[in-house]
Amino acid sequence: MRTLQKVRTVGKGYFASVQEALTRDHRHLALKVMSRKHERQSLNEIYVLQKLPKHPNIIGFYGHWTTSTRHEVLLDLCDGGDLLDFISTPTYGDVVTETTKANMLRQLLEA
């Protein structure tokens, strides 16, 4: 297991939570903690994350480990929020042009 300093909770879901973690070399990463009560879903997610190619538009996977009660996965920290919320909210939606939205979609499809 790596030495990480947990900074804050980024989010929580049905069977997992995500913490912002600071590494020894001062990188901010996401630590996803998944309960072993949901073993199948956790292992499926870990399998998919391991298979993701290295690409600038795809989240980085840095490893995983298992304890007696949970699976922990270390990923890139994506702290900007949800893309759909970003382009849909009045605060940002009016600022994000159709051209920018098209470029975002192109980047997603290239990944």
- Tell me the pLDDT tens digit for each residue of 73-110: 999 998 777 777 777 776 655 677 788 878 888 888 88
Q: Are 70 and 24 in contact (CB under 8 A)?
A: no
Q: Which long-range contacts (CB under 8 A, 24 or more apart) does 49-57 make?
A: 49/73, 49/75, 55/110, 55/111, 57/107, 57/108, 57/110, 57/111
Confidence of residue 1 (pLDDT cuts 50, 70, 90): very low
Instruction: Note the pTM of the prediction, 2 decimals.
Output: 0.75
What tokens were used for 36?
């072993």
**What confidence tier does 57 reach under pLDDT thresholds 50, 70, 90?**
confident
Give me the mean pLDDT over the 23-27 stretch. 90
